Chains A and B, each alone.
Chain A
Amino acid sequence: MNLAINRFSSGPKTRQTVRDFFAGKRFPLVEGDTITFVWRGDAHEVKLHHWVFGLESAQHLTRVDGTNIWFHCMPLPPESRVEYKFEIIHDGHGRWIQDPLNPHLARDPYGANSVAHGNGYTVPEWIHPDPASPYGSYEIVEFSSAVFGQRQTKVYLPARFRSTRQYPLLIVHDGDDYLNYTALGAVLDNLMARREIPDMIVAFTNSAHRLVEYANDERHARFLTEELVPHLESRYPLRAQPQSRCLMGASFGAVASLSTARRYPGFYGRLLLQSGSFAFTDIGDRNRRGPLFDNVVSFMNQFRDQPAAISERVFVSCGTYESLIYENRSLIPLLEATGMDVRFREARDGHNWENWRDRLREGLSWLFPGPFLLVYE
């Protein structure tokens, strides 16, 4: 394919050709399976930083001779989603910026990255608040935990909540991040309004020490199972059965979900594990990811050694541009071999909240299928 940047580079560089190059285009340029990142300005050096595992994470942009236009081309398979930033370097000092030519941003706890979409990727419509979907309400539940002291949990009640009904319980690790960066509140409203999932009560939990508590920490499992769930069951009309309890989390939150379910086999009948940090070793216990992962590796090695049907249905998702794709892919046959019902979804995306957002509809509705085929309002 004769890319736009190549046509521009090989032609005359006048004000008009520069204007023509930028006119009416969306940046970065996506042409077929190739993406061209473009930055315009004066610098000694410009780098592209992205989070696609398997490619060099920092790549140099090339300046088009006789201009202050910089570019870098790389392959971008269909339906990809890539988050990135530019590093603008002057006199050896770099400054990371969002792409000024691209209005699309993905927010996360650290700020925001620019986002590039490959051909065929569309932002799901079900993440946006829909006037036809009544809003659920939120309550703050505060209680004294023997394990962790005073703890707060945000609880979502569905719009059609009735105290006379019984509901499944979904427990979300890193709850505030899910609400802030995956639009989980609007997603729940929409999926319930469209009957793609049943009405359910959702507990958004958070931890100030997640890297410790989520890494197969016995206290965390005890807190959830022996304190939080009974407390919620005493306060809300919850269906107290494994099929109606789900643990969910991403990254270390997925480890916390899996390890809690393993410590209380049969208690949680549904697991939603997104880009789990399921690091393991095949020999020895030294892992390349550092000491934060030691507990995780130890847990995963044990689980892999003696996998068991700790739950009933497990939905696992992971981005193919994550380093964790290897660990997640290799977990699937182990989970399946236990007899649990497992569904695995890969996406051309990275270790980020929008990847996790985009998988919510499939994951939640597979774990808790709603009567959407039977309800016509």
Chain B
Amino acid sequence: MTAINDETTGPIVLLGPQTDFNEIGEMLDEVQADGSVALITTGWQENESEDEALIEKLRRPAINLALHARSERIYAQESGYAKARAARQARLQHLQRFYRMRLEAVDEAARAIGVRHVDAELLDEQHSITVAQMCHLDNDHLQRCQTEWAAFDSQWPAAEQASIASERAELAEIVDRCAAVVISGGHLTALLNRLRLFNVLANLGNKPIIAWSAGAMCLSDRIVLFHDSPPFGKNLAQMLDVGLGLIKNVVVMPDPSRRLRTHESEGISRFTQRMAPAECLGMDIGARLIFNQGRLQSAFAHRLLPNGQLQRGWRL
């Protein structure tokens, strides 16, 4: 898998969901991004070019890197690569389903054990076993995803695919001319896969990155899918994949007001224990996390605590 190297050292700003994009322009001012902006709206998939409203709020020139459109061109040109990529995605989806099935079995057992009338100490011990089993499944899934990506990258090195190499070179040149990179939210896998394919966040030097929602999630080392009130099925958080790893030990959780049952302390407690030692940070509209040299320098977010409480409006 393509790794982001240590040459990416600029400030990274993660934001909550955007309604009018006003915050993006303000943040670009704050990080003193003087110049054009490289824009990644790939999470919007085939609508990535509908960026007028966003660009207007950036208050500076912007170049949409159009990663979705570029990838479509590549898949059309490189049929062998496209086929292998489809097979990789199918395998990753199978892995996701199987991992989910195992997680549900552990959760079901925990539920059955939790209602037994035995002493509290024994139940606490069982709770620890549940968390450990889930952590094991989480880590195992992430490891398997990494193995899949490594196998794919070794069989289909991007540098050896002429069209990919050419697009990468063009993108590197565009990004080099820009003062900052802005990454929107949207569809996680659509975004993550293309960020990997084009490796645009490598060698950014000290250029700032501003990202929100799915864009922010992709920058972390582990991407966690969550929704406590799904239309059907269990409300069980799950790992999606390893992220790009620019941010470590923070679980980025956009839109907690809608997606989290914040009053269910037992669920929050188990979740934070499962994610430890990472900080689990809920990011509603207005939330922001600013990292410098990989360290969290400033924060305004909701913090999920191991005791099951939600620390609203936590500031650092």
A376-B217 contact in complex given A165-B46, A365-B232, C-beta closer than 8 Å: yes
The 7 lowest CB-CB distance pairs between A and B, nearest first, are A365-B231, A376-B213, A376-B214, A376-B254, A373-B225, A377-B185, A374-B188
B-side binding surface: helix, strand, loop or mixed?
mixed
Q: Give the shortest distance, in Å, between B74 (CB) and chain A (any CB).
A: 19
Q: Does B227 contact A (CB under 8 A)?
A: yes
Q: Which of A160, A373, A374, A375 meets B47, CB within 8 Å? A: A160
A362-B187 contact in complex given A164-B46, A373-B225, A376-B213, C-beta closer than 8 Å: no
Q: Which of B213, B230, B231, B240 meets A377, CB within 8 Å? A: B213
Interface string of A173-214 (1 = CB under 8 A from B): 000000000000000000100101000000000000000000
Q: Give the shortest distance, in Å, between A307 (CB) and chain B (any CB).
A: 24
Interface string of A306-327 (1 = CB under 8 A from B): 0000000000000000000000
A-side binding surface: helix, strand, loop or mixed?
loop
Q: Give bound CA distance, A371 to B186, whole Å.
A: 11
Beyond A132-B19, A373-B225, A374-B240, 17 extra complex contacts between A and B, CB < 8 Å:
A160-B47, A162-B46, A165-B46, A194-B258, A361-B231, A362-B232, A366-B231, A372-B230, A372-B231, A374-B188, A374-B189, A375-B186, A376-B185, A376-B214, A376-B217, A376-B254, A377-B186
B-facing residues in A355-377 (Cβ within 8 Å): 361-362, 364-366, 371-377
Q: Once the chains bind, are A372 and B188 in contact (CB under 8 Å)?
A: no
Chain A interface category by residue count: 20 to 34
A373-B231 contact in complex given A160-B47, A164-B46, A165-B46, C-beta closer than 8 Å: no
- The residues of A that contact B186 with a CB separation of less than 8 Å are 375-377
Query: Closest residue of chain B to A126, judged by CB?
Result: B231
Q: Give bound CA distance, A371 to B230, whole Å.
A: 11
Q: Does B221 contact A (CB under 8 A)?
A: no
Q: Once the chains bind, are B255 and A376 in contact (CB under 8 Å)?
A: yes
Query: Closest residue of chain A to B225, judged by CB?
Result: A373
Q: Once the chains bind, are B227 and A373 in contact (CB under 8 Å)?
A: yes
Q: Does B17 contact A (CB under 8 A)?
A: yes
- The residues of A that contact B19 with a CB separation of less than 8 Å are 132
Q: Once the chains bind, are A196 and B231 in contact (CB under 8 Å)?
A: yes
A366-B185 contact in complex given A165-B46, A377-B17, A377-B213, C-beta closer than 8 Å: no
Q: Give the shortest distance, in Å, between B223 (CB) and chain A (any CB).
A: 10
Of the A-B pairs whose beta carbons lie under 8 Å apart in the complex, a sample of 17, sorted by A's number, is A165-B46, A194-B258, A196-B231, A361-B231, A364-B231, A371-B187, A373-B230, A374-B188, A375-B43, A375-B186, A376-B185, A376-B188, A376-B214, A376-B217, A376-B254, A376-B255, A377-B185
Q: Give bound CA distance, A250 to B227, whole Å.
A: 30
Q: Give bound CA distance, A343 to B240, whole Å.
A: 27
Q: Give the shortest distance, in Å, between B174 (CB) and chain A (any CB).
A: 25
Q: Once the chains bind, are A375 and B214 in contact (CB under 8 Å)?
A: yes
- The residues of B that contact A164 with a CB separation of less than 8 Å are 46
Q: Once the chains bind, are A362 and B231 in contact (CB under 8 Å)?
A: yes
Interface centre among A162, A196, A373, A376 (most CB of B within 10 A): A376
- The residues of B that contact A132 with a CB separation of less than 8 Å are 19
Q: Give bound CA distance, A132 to B17, whole Å.
A: 11
Q: Give the shortest distance, in Å, between A125 (CB) and chain B (any CB).
A: 10
- The residues of B that contact A371 with a CB separation of less than 8 Å are 187
A375-B227 contact in complex given A162-B46, A365-B232, C-beta closer than 8 Å: no
A-facing residues in B202-253 (Cβ within 8 Å): 213-214, 217, 225-227, 230-232, 240
- The residues of A that contact B187 with a CB separation of less than 8 Å are 371, 374-375
- The residues of A that contact B258 with a CB separation of less than 8 Å are 194
Q: Give bound CA distance, A366 to B233, whole Å.
A: 9
Query: Closest residue of chain A to B238, judged by CB?
Result: A373
Q: Once the chains bind, are A375 and B46 in contact (CB under 8 Å)?
A: no
- The residues of A that contact B214 with a CB separation of less than 8 Å are 375-377
